[in-house]
């Protein structure tokens, strides 16, 4: 009974626009008679504390939950396999279970913008130009210190290994309704991924390729997670929202120009230009708090956060091509076994960092 009245949610990338919006919506939408614990993840303690303060202020000034609201942090860097193991170790020590995991990794290795290409694309087809852009320049061949493809590890394999360890440490067992929410992208078409380059080291679209991998690894694992561990896993995406990660390539004129084009695209009928993180978080909140496979909310599709021309939010559900999912799962499981062997004697206390 105690656990039924307590929800513990962990959000990766909590300090970003989408991660913060997910946390705020949890504070508002989780029934106020339940105790809510939000675990903020960050690479640094300073950023974790800053994010927690922002969420505390939001609750105190706007929501004023009547139930207990508390926070914890986990220092977690998906581009560092030791950090992943250490985070799980600390979570196991400090929490009976985790009820909801939001896998909100969205790292890219950008080098800039092809402004000529951007102008041509946005003028010739404004909606396509700001939905499926090809003018973002991405670095090729970037590896992590673990000698893995950086974007591959940050966005897909790191989170996959994190889930693997959470299950191993039995952090879902005591939850009444455990859920994993993968956050993919509207930009995850099969054409972005080569099955001969699963670590995305030869791709000039590594971010989009990583999101395609998320789609495939979800489709390859959700049935086993439910049958073997009673964990419901869902695949979502936030549509198009403003992202702090790309601000470095924009000045005030180009930033507001981008926002203007987003609003134009939405007015012209694009369902994906949500712009605001709050609307972008709609599909993650729906699948974590409200979706029920018994009521037809199936797990084999992708739940997208969408909005009408006036900004009114709704959920748009799309089928996902599952071609290649078995090969991807086989590769991930082989890599997982390799890292289990490498890390079998290594635990680091992240609280001392």
What would the two tokens of residue 64 be?
């004023």
Catalytic residue among 24, 136, 165, 211: 211
Q: Judge whether 304 and 272 are in contact, CB under 8 Å.
A: yes
Catalytic residue among 42, 144, 184, 288: 184
Residue-wise burial string across 134-160, b where 16 or more C-beta atoms lie within 10 A, e elsewhere: ebbebeeeeebebebbbbbbbbbbbbb
What would the two tokens of residue 230 be?
């009673």
Q: Is residue 211 flagged as an active site residue?
A: yes
Q: Is residue 184 flagged as an active site residue?
A: yes
Q: Is residue 314 flagged as an active site residue?
A: no
Give the residue carrying structure tokens 């929800």.
7
Catalytic residue among 207, 222, 234, 303: 207
Give the residue carrying structure tokens 């940050």.
154
Q: Tell me the catalytic residues.
A: 184, 207, 211
């Amino acid at each position: 009974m105690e656990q039924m009245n307590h929800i513990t949610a962990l959000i990766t990338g909590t300090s970003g626009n989408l991660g913060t919006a997910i946390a705020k919506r949890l504070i508002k939408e989780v029934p106020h008679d339940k105790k809510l614990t939000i675990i903020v993840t960050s690479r640094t303690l300073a950023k974790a504390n800053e994010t927690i303060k922002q969420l505390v202020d939001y609750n105190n000034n706007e929501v004023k939950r009547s139930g207990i609201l508390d926070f914890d942090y986990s220092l977690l860097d998906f581009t560092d396999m030791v950090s992943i193991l250490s985070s799980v170790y600390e979570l196991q020590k400090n929490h009976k279970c985790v009820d909801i995991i939001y896998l909100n990794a969205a790292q890219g290795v950008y080098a800039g913008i092809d402004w000529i290409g951007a102008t041509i694309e946005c003028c010739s087809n404004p909606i396509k130009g700001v939905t499926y852009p090809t003018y973002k320049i991405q670095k090729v061949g970037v590896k992590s210190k673990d000698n893995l493809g950086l974007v591959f590890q940050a966005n897909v394999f790191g989170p996959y290994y994190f889930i693997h360890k959470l299950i191993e440490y039995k952090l879902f067992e005591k939850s009444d309704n455990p859920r994993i929410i993968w956050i993919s992208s509207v930009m995850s078409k099969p054409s972005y991924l080569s099955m001969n380059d699963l670590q995305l080291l030869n791709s000039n679209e590594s971010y989009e390729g990583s999101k395609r991998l998320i789609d495939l690894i979800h489709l390859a694992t959700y049935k086993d997670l439910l049958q073997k561990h009673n964990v419901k896993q869902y695949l979502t995406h936030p549509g198009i929202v403003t992202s702090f990660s790309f601000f470095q390539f924009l000045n005030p004129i180009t930033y507001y120009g981008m926002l203007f084009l987003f609003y134009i695209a939405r007015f012209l009928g694009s369902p994906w230009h949500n712009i605001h993180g709050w609307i972008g978080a709609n599909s993650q909140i729906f699948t974590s708090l409200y979706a029920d496979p018994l009521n037809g909310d199936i797990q084999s599709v992708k739940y997208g956060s969408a909005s009408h021309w006036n900004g009114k939010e709704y959920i748009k559900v799309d089928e996902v091509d599952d071609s290649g999912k078995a090969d991807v799962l086989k590769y991930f499981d082989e890599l997982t076994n390799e890292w289990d062997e490498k890390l079998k004697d290594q635990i680091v206390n992240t609280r001392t960092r």
